[in-house]
Amino acid sequence: MVALLVFLIFTIGKFAFKKSDNAPFGDMEDKTTLLVLILAHIQLLIGLFLLFVGPMSNNFSHMGDIMKDSYLRMMTVEHPLTMIIGVVLITMGRVKMKKKPEAAAKYKTIIIFFALALVLFLSRIPWSHLNG
């Protein structure tokens, strides 16, 4: 997850500078967005695997109790759903960017969609439980 967050921040910052400089949108920028897309989808697959096969997988049998516990609800429902929405935003941003003819529009599209995904990711990371 750290790699994805770092690449998202890097891409948003890099594209903001390039947009302000009216730089052309080239092959390297396209590959950068592709790398973020690949990292997001790999992270999503790992997360879904852990959700359905990992230690939290037995939580689905008693969802009523899960919904009463804020930590378990966040880890079983809110975190996965928010991460899925974030990956969808990254995917949508890249698809919409490919359809834009001008470089400024491409940069703007990526900045908006990737920033929304980043905000969602950061909002649902269980910061207080990362160190155990």
Contact 57, 51 (CB under 8 A): yes
User: Looking at residue 80, what is its pLDDT?
Assistant: 93
- For the chain (132 residues), the mean pLDDT of every run of 10, in chain order, is 90 96 94 97 94 83 87 90 97 96 96 97 83 62
Backbone angles phi, psi at 37, to 5 degrees: -60, -45
Q: What angle is formed at CA 51 by the lines to CA 111 and CA 8, rounded to 5 degrees?
A: 15
User: Looking at residue 39, what is its pLDDT?
Assistant: 96
Contact 78, 123 (CB under 8 A): no
For residue 96, count other CB atoms closer than 10 A to its CB: 15
Residue type, 63: M
User: Looking at residue 56, what is its pLDDT?
Assistant: 78
User: Looking at residue 132, what is its pLDDT?
Assistant: 56
- 3-state class (DSSP) for residue 22: coil
